[in-house]
Amino acid sequence: MTGTVTSLERDSRWLFAQWDAAMKVTGVHPLSVIADNQERG
């Protein structure tokens, strides 16, 4: 069975939607979070 959307794509899209929603709720900008992670790394 081949579908246009694989389960992995579905999962990643769902995860991104959850993450995007969380960013909107917390008011944290994704780029600032990424910058923080790189500095701590």
Write down the pLDDT at residue 30.
63
pLDDT in tens, 1-41: 566 778 989 999 999 999 888 888 887 766 676 777 777 75
pLDDT confidence of residue 14: 92
Q: Please state the length of the chain.
A: 41
Q: Give the pLDDT of residue 11.
A: 92
Q: What integer pLDDT is reported at residue 20 of this predicted model?
A: 85
Residue spans per domain, the chain: 2-40
pLDDT of residue 3: 67
Residues near 23 by Cβ (< 8 Å), separated by ≥ 6?
29, 30, 33
pLDDT of amino acid 26: 80
